[in-house]
Amino acid sequence: MSKKSKDMSQNAKVGFGEHLAYGIGGGFATNAVNLFIGAFLIVYLTEIMKINPGVAAGIVGVSKFLDGISDLIAGRIIDKTHSKFGKARVWLLRMIPCTVISLLLLYLMPSSLTGTAQIVYVFVMYNLVSTGCYTFSYVAFMALNGLMTTNQKSRGLNGGINMVGNVIASLLGNATIITALKLLSSDPSFSPYGDRTGWIKLLVIWMIVGMLAQVLIVFGTRERVIENAGKDDGKESKKAEVSVFTTLKALFKNKYWIYNIIIAVVIQFLMGATGSTTSYYMTYVVGDAEFYQVFSTANSLAMLGFMLVGFPIMAKLGKRNAVLGGLIIRGIGTLLPLFSSAKPILLVAGVIGGAGYGIAGCAFASIIQDTLTYGEWKNGYSMIGMGNAANSFAGKIGNSLGTIVLGLVMNASGYVAGAAQQTASALMGFKVMFIFLPAAMIVLAIVAAALYDLDKIYPQIAADLAEGKYAPGVTAYGEKKES
């Protein structure tokens, strides 16, 4: 660890080694799981297990509503946790074996199961891995950024480097998954995505990577932020008086948190709606399943490159302006396939879209922590666990809706799993999910980003909290000062 990493003051500037442990470790830990419970789970269920797309999307979509509720429970538990590893890292450590075992059980569904039994099995196992294990890991990971320091630049670097880690891990996964599945499959001709054997082998490889990455986060970072550290007035016992209802009420009165939520919901909706769609679009509209890897590689490389450019942009223009500009660029890339589905045009669209998301994502990754710091200053008490949990909850609702919409569109448009040729209506359904719907959602996110102006007052807020002060008229735990 560098000297900066050993600085345990609340507003410490975190050392680069600790940034890497959080950002790169987090990127691989989360993506190792997301690759198999995100976009490609629907592909596995429909193309390999031959489950009806509406049913498959419905299972995942409905489960994500439950998943969102578990976020709130996880956030509350993290807020109340005290251990030698702090509040967040202990849960990252505990969830490693639980996540691996439950994910393996999901993909090892007995092939003898059919009909209702098959649906029940997928529902239970998906919720075990996603609603239970992964939720605790993800909420803890998000909260850790806020617990490492209150320093806005360090939080921004954490978030930005994590986005870089996400892109690198996603790039490795998406750029190789089709080829890897076929190489690892016993019968590569079973489907455009190989057979079940290939999926299980690839899952084991990524679980090993994910476990090592999560261990790196736990032992490579420190938690420095202690609730109400600037005040030592014997009021510690009043923590219990800040109820879940009070915390949630305060969150929904925090306009900056609301703006953040809108953008997060849009992003998660698009991930749920277009993540799987991209694979289907390349397979059936473009007519080349493996072109998905080329498109994803171009998109991810552009995203990665512009995330690195995003750091100086964020430092120069502020987080809000970087997010706003990036979303506008992303929107341009989204609309480009309107003119042609030719591969060169799609690659350009992928590069432009990746560049926009790289700039926006680098800055957006840490905005949630700034909104929660503002909330603590405004209300007199920390809500970092519940705030991150509620943020994750809203995002999963967005992802759930996106997944459900995808399933409904595929069913309504006449998609047939594994068919060499899809109907014209099915192809139009993929175009709606790949172009039109994402463009409309990005406009909503642009409006929310335009309204966000917390950057202007954040430095004073952080300075007040470092001194144990809050908004005018507010003391610790929300008490009002006597006039």
Give the residue among 217, 208, 266, 273 at the shortest CA–CA distance from 38: 273
How is domain 13-226+243-473 classified at the CATH fold level? Answer: Growth Hormone; Chain: A; (1.20.1250)
- pLDDT at res. 242: 64
Closest by CA position to 75, among listed 95, 91, 63, 96: 91
**186: Cβ contacts below 8 Å, ≥ 6 apart:** 195, 197, 198
Band of pLDDT at residue 478, cut at 50, 70 and 90: low
Selection from 31, 146, 142 nearest residue 389 by Cα: 142
Q: What is the mean pLDDT of the chain?
A: 82
Whether 317 shows a pLDDT value over 90: the answer reads no
Q: What is the pTM of this model?
A: 0.64
Give the separation between CA 33 and CA 141, rounded to whole angstroms: 14
Q: Lowest mean pLDDT of 23-27, 248-252, 259-263, 267-271, name the range.
A: 267-271
**pLDDT tens digits for range 360-416:** 877 787 788 788 888 888 888 777 766 777 777 777 777 677 777 777 788 888 887
